[in-house]
Amino acid sequence: NSQINTIKSCTSQDPGPGNCPVLESSTLDRSKCLQGIYEDLKTYKAELGNLKDLRVLTSIDDMMQALQPHSPATPQPLPSTTLGSFQARMRLCGVLHAFCLRAVTISRMLGYLSA
């Protein structure tokens, strides 16, 4: 299940003329964009639930908390299963790679919004 909330939410649905109309601030809904980023982080948090490195999950929680400071923080449960099969480890590797790419997109979008 591939979610692309950040990309959908942070681009204009009706681009007009201009050098980069998809990202022009007059057509960009900032709150919708931030909500899309939050939803992506929530999706990756669920996908990476079995990851043994709790630093990644805690970092995702911290980012989610920064985007929605009024929502309660959820404690990280200890990973319950081991990633024993090769296919499970390969899937996790793919999810981590996708998350790395999404983190770059999120970082760039947050930089654009703060400029």
Tokens found for residue 43: 């999706």
Q: What is the pLDDT of residues 78-104, one digit of tens each?
A: 555 556 788 888 888 999 999 999 999
Which pLDDT value is given to residue 1?
A: 46
Question: What does the alpha-carbon distance between residue 9 and residue 29 come to, in Å, rounded to a whole number?
Answer: 8
Q: Tell me the per-residue pLDDT of 73-85, one tens digit each, with 9 for 90 and over.
A: 665 555 555 567 8
Tell me the C-alpha distance between 13 and 28, whole Å: 9
Distance CA(109)–CA(40), nearest Å, equals: 13
Tens-digit pLDDT profile for residues 8-51:
888 766 656 665 655 555 667 888 899 999 999 999 998 888 77
Name the amino acid, one letter, at 97: H
Tell me the domain boundaries of the chain: 5-114
Three-state DSSP class for residue 24: coil
